[in-house]
Structure 1
Amino acid sequence: MSANRDHLEMAFHSISCFGNDGRLDATELDRLVAIAERDGIIDPDEIRVLNNIISRVQPHEIDAAMKARLDALRRKIGPAPVPAT
């Protein structure tokens, strides 16, 4: 685990993002990504947290703005890992 604790801040902040209306919008996702990027690199812990947060977004909640941001984020961090069966 890295010495950087931004992933913990991201996880904590995501609680309020989902807690205010039960969903994550594009602006809230941008804020989470900004936390991850503020040191110039998105480390493995931050990627793990982002993937966990994104996995909670329901397909019917994805509007055009959110889809664009998710697509851009996937280009940066790669696809979410497939769970082992």
Structure 2
Amino acid sequence: MSKESRDFLEMAFHSVRCFGDDGRLDATELGKILAIAERDGVTDANELRVLSNIIARIRPDEIDTAMKAQLTAIARKFGIQVPEGTSA
């Protein structure tokens, strides 16, 4: 019997701490959340759902050059919709 990954719960918890800290999410914080999803070598549907929900909460004023690069890479790798004008 395989053990289902619970990394998506850790991702969600980490995002709450990041947003709660200063009300924003920066590229470094998003990278740490992404690292949780990727650490076992498989990014499952629950992790992608949580990642999509986190990205949907990013405000346009939070998207600097580093965040734009991070979001573009995520969109290309996972096909996740990112804020308008972010992905190339």
Per the TM superposition, whether the score is higher than 0.5 is yes
Q: Choose between structure 1 and 2 for higher RCO, CA contacts under 8 A separated by at least 6 residues.
A: 1
Distance 1:18 1:51 in 2: 15
Correspondence list, 1:52-67, <5 A? 52-67=53-68
Shift of 1:33: 0.4
Post-superposition Cα deviations, 1:9-51, rounded to whole Å, max 9, x if no partner, equal: 0001111110111010000000000000000011110000000
Could you tell me the TM-score, scaled by structure 2's length? 0.86
Gaps in structure 2 of 5+ consecutive residues? 82-88
Structure 2 Cα separation of the partners of residues 79 and 45 of structure 1: 13
Identity percentage of aligned residues:
63
Instruction: Specify the code of the residue in structure 1 equivalent to 2:28.
Output: T
Once residues 40 and 79 of structure 1 are traced to their aligned partners in structure 2, the CA distance between those partners, rounded to angstroms, is 18
What is the rounded CA distance, in whole Å, between the counterparts of 1:12 and 1:79 in structure 2?
Answer: 20
Q: Which amino acid aligns with 2:23?
A: G
Aligned to 2:77: 76
Instruction: Give 4+ residue runs of structure 1 displaced > 3 Å after superposition.
Output: none
Q: Taking structure 1 as the reference length, what is the TM-score of the superposition? A: 0.89
Structure 1 residue ranges without an equivalent (≥5): 81-85
Contact preservation (8 Å) 2:11, 2:37: yes
Partners of 1:71 and 1:59 in 2: CA distance: 14
Match of 1:83 in 2: none
Q: Tell me the number of residue pairs that the alignment of Structure 1 and Structure 2 aligns.
A: 79
Q: Distance in 2 between matches of 1:54 and 1:31?
A: 13
